[in-house]
């Protein structure tokens, strides 16, 4: 089973709120490096990052994933 982050949730949120990458990172209190890893589906970041992003997006962490077999 492969997990992927639904990056379209982040892209849509940023577009709807006219946010730059830097502003989104500031709102989430994450680094630009963590943001870039999320967008590449590179899971080399702290779990705390996902909770911070989910809070800003207004979703639960599990909703940020698409589950593929």
4, β-bridge pairs: 66
- H/E run at residue 4: strand 2-5
Average pLDDT over residues 45-61: 96
Residue 47, pLDDT > 50, answer yes
pLDDT of residue 40: 94
Residue 69, pLDDT > 60, answer no
Q: What pLDDT digit, counting tens, does each position of 6-41 carry?
A: 999 999 999 999 999 999 999 999 999 999 999 999
17: number of Cβ within 10 Å? 11
């Amino acid at each position: 089973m492969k997990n992927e982050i639904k990056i379209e949730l982040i892209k849509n949120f940023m577009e709807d709120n006219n946010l730059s990458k830097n502003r989104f990172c500031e709102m989430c209190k994450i680094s630009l490096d963590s943001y870039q890893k999320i967008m590449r589906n590179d899971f080399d970041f702290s779990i705390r990052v996902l909770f911070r992003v989910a809070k800003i997006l207004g979703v639960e962490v599990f909703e940020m994933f698409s589950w593929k077999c």
